[in-house]
Amino acid sequence: MSNSQRLSSKIKEIGKILEARRPNPNWDAMEIARRTLRTSRQEIILNLGTILLSKDDSDKMTGIATRVAGGFPLEYALGVTSFLGIDIKVTPSVLIPRPDTEILVLEAEKAINGRALKIIDICTGSGCIAIALKKRNPQCEVTATDISQDCLKIARENATINGTGISFLQADLTKNINGKFDVLICNPPYIPTKEIPLLEKEISYEPISALDGGKDGFEYYRKLSNEIPDVLSEEGFAIIEVDCPKNETAKKLEKIFENYSFRFVPDISGNKRALKLWRKK
């Protein structure tokens, strides 16, 4: 093992590779290390100075860092990301789950409150929302849909990996979905078409169908406003991800969903990140 490299020096090395591109290179270097070595962050921290790397692991870590430094998403390079503490497999076929989206699950849980409800996750992508809801609320019946067969393939794999029994259906939003659900969750595409070419290079690797919200970014919200009554039970509620950097965005959403009772849900930064809505009485 005389030619082996200590993990501590390797993390410093790949941190240097990443620092020009990534805002938290040391954190990312640690993530690359723990995923490569299939261990925990805590284990690495406790044994940072004693772990010796094989050449294969060292080369693999350098290769991942180099790709990421060139603009390739870290999550795709690793093939996995974390969502509410759950490992989710990701490929360029699916949108990378963001921490901002976790608020949809947490807000839904408050209203579920231990009840055995029927949940549908529309535009499921990697399946992260549906899987998190099922793992945290095993008493609930969860269905997940997406228009993309490629997404559904990954979502099914993630459900199997995480041991969650979820029904998956190919559907364009609510079309061809039978029955009523108590909870509807959706993270729809909401970026205006003209803004997509202006986004960071990393985002260009993600599926455009999961990003493009039409000319003004509100196309899917309009469709959902019309279709939600077809699948939502009388006492049910929907939670939809939104992005409201300006008050005018919130006002447009209020107009689109004016036939519902609703409230905005803030994320940890105080930004309007979700819209919870239910039928007017």
Beta strands in 77-226 (DSSP E): 80-83, 86-89, 118-122, 141-146, 167-170, 181-186
Give the model's pLDDT for residue 266: 92
Query: Which stretches of the chain drop beneath a pLDDT of 50?
Result: 1
Return the number of other C-beta atoms located less than 10 Å from residue 193's C-beta.
Answer: 16
> CB of 36 within 8 A of CB of 64?
yes
Taken as a whole, the chain contains a residue count of: 281
> CB of 220 within 8 A of CB of 188?
yes
Alpha-carbon distance of 191 to 47, in angstroms, equals 43
pLDDT, one tens digit per residue, over 91-104 is: 999 999 999 999 99
